[in-house]
Amino acid sequence: MIDNVRALSITDKVVVFDYGEVISRSPSVASRAALEAVAGVGVDPKLFRVSYDAHRDGLDRGTTSIRDYWKLIAADTGAEWSEARIHELWVADFTGWISIDVEVFEIIADLHAGGTRIALLSNAGFDFASGSRYSPVARFFERIFVSAEMLKLKPEADIYLEVAHELGITCAEMVFVDNKQVNVDGAVSLGITGHHFVGAAGLRRFLQMISDR
């Protein structure tokens, strides 16, 4: 449990976490179904999902507003959503990403207890910013970086370089954790120590290895 803190100290690096599907769990089958239900019975679920993914980069880069993101999906799927329905879609989507992986939360707490510097870097829209900064897990992070606010996306080199600059470190002093191999590869190409996240147990072993050096 989170109360049983096991200090994990990495004194010479800053550990930077991705959020989606690392700290947070993937949206459940039920939450995905709820989102599709809000979209409406006339919207093909497969087409909806393809369009949802296709326009995500614009949302996460900060060049597409939340409203315009859903308007683009409506155009792709032939949906006719009212302004209220668009808000309902946003709520259903946003809440689907709030659930956390408790074991990863415990690792973050253990790093914090060990005096390790920790930050967060997420490809996410503007709406993610305030929720993440005022959530209970936010107390552990020195900084929270949201791609939309930076007008950049992982795995572009500039986003990692900006994070390193803002943290006052070199790339060699950063450890980056992400569930997408392409994002890890982008970081590693700059001399950052990377970890492709596939589960909490593997992440803990990886961080413990760095701590023991």
Radius of gyration of the chain measured on its C-alpha atoms = 18
Total structural domains within the chain: 2
Q: What is the DSSP string of 17-35?
A: E--TTTTBPPPPHHHHHHH
Residue 5 belongs to some domain of the structure: no
Same domain, 165 and 84: no
Give φ, ψ of 196 to 5 degrees. Answer: -85, 110
pLDDT tens, position by position, 71-109: 999 999 999 999 999 999 999 999 999 999 999 999 999
Specify the CATH number for the domain of residue 126. Answer: 3.40.50.1000
Show which of 75, 95, 115 is a domain's final residue: 95
Same domain, 119 and 194: yes
Same domain, 125 and 192: yes
Nearest to 209 by CA among 198, 197, 190, 195: 195
Checking if the pLDDT of 133 tops 80, the result is yes
Show which of 95, 110, 130 is a domain's final residue: 95
Segment 170-198 shows an average pLDDT of 98
Parent domain of 66:
29-95
Same domain, 107 and 71: no
Helix, strand, or coil (residue 60): helix
Same domain, 88 and 132: no
Q: Match 């914090």 to its residue by tokens.
A: 112
Checking if the pLDDT of 172 tops 90, the result is yes
Checking if the pLDDT of 201 tops 90, the result is yes
CB 107 within 8 A of CB 200: yes
Residue 191 belongs to some domain of the structure: yes
Same domain, 154 and 190: yes
Residue 64 belongs to some domain of the structure: yes
Provide the pLDDT confidence category of residue 213 given band limits of 50, 70 and 90: confident
Same domain, 77 and 173: no
pLDDT of residue 1: 41
Core vs surface per residue 76-113: b (16+ CB within 10 A) or e: bbebebeeebbebbbebbeebbeebbeebbbbbbbbbe
Segment 121-132 shows an average pLDDT of 92
